[in-house]
Structures are given as C-alpha cells and as structure tokens.
Structure 1
C-alpha cells in the first residue's frame, strides 16, 4: 500500500501520522498534497498543512531591535578594548595599579545590561555612584603593596561582580528569580567566553608561528595590542550572545554541571584522604591553608553552578544527592579552615590577611550551612528546590557587603 492511502487510512490516528512522518519525512510531504485534496475538510490534515508549510511573518520591529542591540554590542566591545589598552599603558608607567584593568571591562558590560533592562532613576543613580566611587577610591590608595591594600585589590572584583548583578537585575534586584537568572548568566557566560577564547588562542599561536617564519618576533606587540584588546572586547560579545539566549550555552551548561559535580566530589575525597595520609597540617602550613581555601571556593562554585542549572519545579535526582555530599564536604573543609585561621590569629597576631580570610570563611560557612539545611528539607520532601535556590540568591548581598567593607575600610584601618 502506498503512502498516499496510508495517510488517508490513518487520518484519525495522530500517533500513526507522526510515526510515518518521522520514518520518511520527504515521502510524507510528497504524498500529503494528495491526501489533503481527497479530504479537504479534515481538521487533522489542516493542522498538518500548517505544520509543513508554516512561515513565520517577519517581525520588522524585532529585527530592528536586534540590529540596534548588535550595533550597541559592537560599540561597547570596541570601547572596552580601547579602554583596557589605555589603562594598561598607565599601569606600565606605574601611574596606577593593575587592578584598574577591571574598569576597562565591567562598566561596559553593565552598560549593556542597563540598555536591555533600563531601571528606574533611583536605581540608575545608585548604580552610577557605586561604579564611580571605587574608581576614585582605588586610585587614591598608595601604589605600595601593603597587606591591607592587597586585600582591597582582591575583594574589589567581587564587589564589582555584585554591582554587575545589580545592573543585570535592574528594578528586580530584590527578587530571587532575577538573582538566579544572573547566576545562570555567569555560568553560560563562562562557557561561551571560554569557547571563543580557545579559538583566539589558536589564532594567536598560528599568528606567532607565521611571523616567526619571516624572522619577526611580534609577541610583545601582539599581546599588548591584539590579545588584550580581544580579551576585553570578547567579554562584551559573550554577554551579548548569552543575553540573546544562545542555545549552545543553555544546552551544554546543565550537562557540564552534572558531569563536574561528581568529578569534583571524587577529587575532593581523594585529596583529603591523601592529606590525612601525608600528614599535612593547615594549622601550621600557611600555603596549605591557602590551598585549602581554594578547594573550598571551587567546591562552592561548582555546587552553586549545578543548583542554578536546575529548574524551580524540578524533582530531586542523583545530582541533588551529589550536591548535598559536596556541600557537607565543603562545610567540613571550611570548619577545619576556620579552626586553623583562629589558631593562627591567636598564635601569630592580627593581620589584614588573617582578618579578611577569617571573614570570608565565616560568611561561606554560614552560607553552606543554610544551603545544607535547605537541601535536607528538599531531600526529605518537606520543601521544594526553590528553597535551596533561595539559600543562594538571598545570600549574595552579604558577599557584596563584605567585599565593600574590605575594599573600602581595610586600607584605612590597617594603614
């Protein structure tokens, strides 16, 4: 029996029609016209006709907006590259501190966010002030790298990241779903940026090799004027791509989270077991304590990335149990680190470094505890996944406040 008659015979069976279409779409489309001619009043075939012949009406207004967005992205990307290169010039002259390079990128990403989600005047004014204050303050500090100034430099990017979140969320800065969207944006941004950066690295290597064949070493010029410009501009391009709901990032981000969570968990368990066997002591070994805190931050970042990748109505699965195990392990690591920091404070005295690290570890410990308690409620079916997400999003301002405190007060207090 030919497919023409098969379509007519199964006209009242949507399942069979779908199966026939999936088995051989081209044959189905060729035979569909005959079936429709024989049954012009069939609602089922009318729906199939629209499905096979649907053409979306061009939305000129949407196309115009996309062009404007693309043009704005291009302008901001170029400005970010130029600004970063100018800042590097003054850094090389030792007129300003290297941390100023952050001001060559972050304001332009924030400008793109504000353009796409224009906040009210009071929020806009607050954003402008909060961006200008650190620019002036950081450059009023002496260039001498004391402990307190180093701590200010290390905490400034965290403060700027929180400000970017304010620009991203706009008038909805107090809403958990908006903050969650910002965290998701960060994960997808990293994926897109890394993908393009790898391509840039390959192009850089090829360029270096080609010029070396003619006896020219352009590495210094190329890195200062092309690589640096590209790295800064690329951040705005990646922001544009992610904000336009790039399917690549959206599709791959959850899988990366699900793959990395168990790998990080196994690595941490193996590492801690090795530490115990080797007899390493974070109470006495400063470098080991630093690495301990690095592990803690990595575990927290991977867990947050995995949690934000889950939907608010998603049911619990194996990933949630892995995340819970990671949180518990991170809490143990943080408790040991806190004990070591308190021991070093009581034994060797107060320094800006120890106070800053103590504060960060206390904040992380409290956040981990909140996440763990929320996870217990979720895994025991007492609450939904939104409670776990709330334990992350509602805590974000606390990190921003601590970063601001260290950045703006430590150089004054300890100097």
Structure 2
C-alpha cells in the first residue's frame, strides 16, 4: 500500500509538472513528451540509487534547470516555429490549443467590431465628430472601448454570474454619471470626470481580468503586468495607425479625393476603440512567447529618473526655493509620481522573488525615497494654498491623489529598506502593491461620483 501511495504521489507530481510545461507557448506536445521522458529517466536513476521518489523528483527537476531556460533553448533550436507563433497563436502539435487560439481570435474580432459599431451608434442621434460634439465623445470614449475589452476578458475567464453583474453595473454607473451630471464643458468637474473616469473604468477591467481568482495577489500582479504591456502595444498600434492615416490621406489626395471626412469619422474613432481590444488580445496570447516590454523599459528608465529626482532635490536644497504650485505644475508632479510608481510596479512584476538583493534594489529605494520627499514638499505647498485660497474640485482631487500616493510610497520605501537590509522578504513588497489597488479604485470612483456633487458641478 505504501509503495502504491508513493507511486500515486509521484504521478501526481509528474502531472502537475506536465501541465505547467504545456502552458509554455514555445513547447508543443512532442517537446513536452521529450522533456518528460528525460525527467522520468533521471527520477528512475535516482530512485535506483536509494532516494525516495519525492526527493528524486525534486532533484531531477532541479537538474533540468528552470523551465523558462529550457523553453528558451527549445525556441532557439526551433526558431522558425517561434517566429510563426509570433504571428499565429497556438501550437501546431496541439489541436486543443490551436482550437482555443481560433476561438480567441473570433472573440477578439467580435469584441473589436462591437466597439467600432458602438462608437458610431451616437450618430443615429445626430452626434458625430464633424458636428462639434467632441465633448460628448471626450466624456464617453472610454465607455465605447473598455466594456468590450472587459467582455473579451470575461469570455476567457468565464467567471460567475455575480461577477458579470457587478461589471455590468459598474460600467452602467459610469455611463449614467458622465452623461446625467449637469457638467459645464468649462467646469473643473468636467475636467475631473474626463480624466478620472477612464482610470476608474480601467480598474473595472482589472476586476474582469482577475475574475477567475478574485482573492489572488498573484492575479492582481498579473493585471499590473497586463496594464503595462497593453499600454505599450496600444502605443505601437497608434504609431502604426498614424502611418496608415498619412498614407491614406496621401494616396487619395493624389487622385483628387478628399479623405479627411472618412478618416476623422471612421478610421480614427473605430480604430481607436477597436485597438483597445486588439491590444488586450495581443497581451493575452503573446505572454510568454516574447519578452515583456514594460519591464525592459523599466530597467532602462529607473536609473535616469533616480538621477533626475535626486538632482532636483539637491537643487532645491542649494537655492532654497520652494515649489511654486499652479494647475499645470500640479498635473506635472502628479504624473511624475505616477511614473515613479509605475517604474516600481513593473520592476517588481518582472523580478524573480528568489533572486538575491542587488544594486538595482538599492537604486529603486533611492528612487522611491526621492519621490516620497518630493510628494511631501508638494503636499506642504498645496495645503498652504488651500488654506489661503480655499478649496476647488481640482485641488481637492489633487490633494487626495497625492495623499494616496504618499501612503503607498512611504510604506513601499519602508518595505524596500527592510528588503535591502535583509529584514523582510520580497513577497511583502508585492503583497503591499497588489493589496493597495482597491484604494486607487475607491479614490477614483470618489472623484467621479462625489466631488462634482460636493462642489455643485462647478
């Protein structure tokens, strides 16, 4: 009986390992079989030498090296296959994976087409980009795109009815608020709505992304990775779309046809909302096939931003001048702090939790501490201006956002310091960042729902 139980446990370990191997897009079924044969042979040899099966399995896996290293070796040996996978998803040797890939493409096309159609529906009511109704589209552009991206993610995750109902309710709430609130186009409340609602809705997309495991910190970190890769893909697609539009204008102009109306009314709006879905699909199906882009950019820009912020603080200390806060400067500092937070998040998302402390961790600590000091200086200046001139929707929103960032950066700095000094584990930093995501969601929805009402929509 003991032998049988040991064999069953060993087979369960093999099954778990095999499932993990088959999730690697670089490896088709025959490759997985080859790796498994090699692993089984090593385990049998170690068992024959007197090791227990579970010990033999762990040692054999260790000897094989990291699966990512193995998959990269396979990718180099089969480079033609890898290049094909960059264009065509799914493994040719795995019919189930190929079928799932085709269904993903169909779902993506349906959602992208739905987004493109939805952005043209308002024209039935006489609202168009050419008729001067740009403020309507400025309010609602996220609502034409992000629900369809969430729908694609829901199709892939297959959550329960309760999660789907929550997603629908949140998107509906955003649509009602942005169109029902009596916002003047020149009011501060309108500006806050236009800038904060898309971020609030993006966090609703995050709920769709993690809907297969709502309590998992790992899935929240996956969403952070998804956000960075999605943004990079969207920018690249936007650059390509700009080239396409330039060629369209040029070639039609060469035959005396004015294409400006078609481009502004069809190509730009439909392409923009459709691209949000396509970018999400690209991140979903290409993850693991090619190197993530956002962490690479993080490695490049973290040293540059650290030097820039330290130089800024040294200059303040040298000339003794405080920060002069106006609306444009405040927006710039908020964006700067958001970029610093992004650099921190994406470096965390790409870091091996088991890797030892290194110089880059110290560099990150210097970056976070510098941003923390700058945030404190900005908050000090802001509270003085509010005490002198009173509150407005803009400065209350900015004050709240800086406080939210200050709390995050302060505790991040403390955890990073403990990690660098070997007093806590890297996992604590990850848990803090992923658990803080609901705080951002709460604040952005507060700005969207409550601040316009509190300030009588001015």
Q: Shared fold by TM > 0.5?
A: yes
Q: Which residue of 1 aligns with 2:352?
A: 311
Shift of 1:273: 5.2
Shift of 1:264: 1.9
Q: Helix, strand or coil for the counterpart of 1:311?
A: coil
For residues 157-176 of structure 1, what are the structure 2 equivalents within 5 Å?
157-176=198-217
The alignment's C-alpha RMSD in Å is 2.7
Q: Which residue of 2 aligns with 1:20?
A: none
TM-score by length of 2: 0.73
- Check 1:358–1:207 CA distance in 2 against 1; reply closer, same or farther (3 A cut): same
Shift of 1:163: 0.6
Shift of 1:278: 7.9
Counterpart CA distance in 1 for 2:325 and 2:297 is 36
For residues 125-164 of structure 1, what are the structure 2 equivalents within 5 Å?
125-145=165-185, 146-164=187-205
Shift of 1:144: 1.0
Q: Helix, strand or coil for the counterpart of 1:170?
A: coil
Q: Which residue of 2 aligns with 1:101?
A: 141
**Quick check: 1:268 aligned with 2:309?**
yes
For residues 65-214 of structure 1, what are the structure 2 equivalents within 5 Å?
65-87=100-122, 90=127, 92=129, 94=133, 96=136, 98-145=138-185, 146-214=187-255
Q: Which residue of 1 aligns with 2:260?
A: 219
Q: Helix, strand or coil for the counterpart of 2:450?
A: helix
Counterpart CA distance in 2 for 1:200 and 1:385 is 40
- Check 1:59–1:360 CA distance in 2 against 1; reply closer, same or farther (3 A cut): same
Shift of 1:143: 4.1
Q: Which residue of 2 aligns with 1:46?
A: none
- Check 1:205–1:326 CA distance in 2 against 1; reply closer, same or farther (3 A cut): same
**Quick check: 1:391 aligned with 2:432?**
yes
Shift of 1:219: 2.9
- The answer to whether the Cα contact below 8 Å between 2:306 and 2:367 also exists between their aligned partners in 1 is yes
Of 48, 52, 59, which residue of structure 1 is paired with 2:94? 59
- The answer to whether the Cα contact below 8 Å between 2:146 and 2:205 also exists between their aligned partners in 1 is yes
Shift of 1:274: 5.8
Q: How many residues align?
A: 365
Bigger-Rg structure (1/2) = 1
Between 74-83 and 359-368, the greater mean CA deviation after superposition: 74-83
Between 170-179 and 69-78, the greater mean CA deviation after superposition: 170-179
Counterpart CA distance in 1 for 2:327 and 2:376 is 16
Shift of 1:351: 1.3
Of 395, 399, 414, which residue of structure 2 is paired with 1:373? 414
Q: Which residue of 2 aligns with 1:282?
A: 323
Counterpart CA distance in 2 for 1:99 and 1:249 is 36
Unmatched tracts of structure 2, length 5 or more: 1-44, 46-73, 82-90
Unmatched tracts of structure 1, length 5 or more: 1-42, 44-50
Q: Which residue of 1 aligns with 2:382?
A: 341
Counterpart CA distance in 1 for 2:247 and 2:430 is 44
Q: Which residue of 2 aligns with 1:24?
A: none
- The answer to whether the Cα contact below 8 Å between 2:139 and 2:193 also exists between their aligned partners in 1 is no
Shift of 1:210: 2.2
Counterpart CA distance in 1 for 2:313 and 2:411 is 24
**Quick check: 1:234 aligned with 2:271?**
no
- Check 1:99–1:61 CA distance in 2 against 1; reply closer, same or farther (3 A cut): same
Provide, for residues 171-208 of structure 1, a one-character-per-residue CA deviation record: whole Å limited to 9, x for no partner.
Answer: 42222101000000111112222223222222222222
Counterpart CA distance in 2 for 1:242 and 1:411 is 36
Q: Which residue of 2 aligns with 1:38?
A: none
**Quick check: 1:355 aligned with 2:390?**
no
Counterpart CA distance in 1 for 2:353 and 2:120 is 42
Counterpart CA distance in 2 for 1:349 and 1:186 is 36
Counterpart CA distance in 1 for 2:98 and 2:289 is 21
Provide, for residues 2-34 of structure 1, a one-character-per-residue CA deviation record: whole Å limited to 9, x for no partner.
Answer: xxxxxxxxxxxxxxxxxxxxxxxxxxxxxxxxx
Between 315-324 and 57-66, the greater mean CA deviation after superposition: 57-66
- Check 1:151–1:381 CA distance in 2 against 1; reply closer, same or farther (3 A cut): same
TM-score by length of 1: 0.80
Provide, for residues 377-396 of structure 1, a one-character-per-residue CA deviation record: whole Å limited to 9, x for no partner.
Answer: 11111222211111211100
Shift of 1:320: 1.7
Q: Helix, strand or coil for the counterpart of 2:210?
A: helix
For residues 244-255 of structure 1, what are the structure 2 equivalents within 5 Å?
244-247=285-288, 250-255=291-296
Shift of 1:101: 0.8
Q: Which residue of 2 aligns with 1:11?
A: none
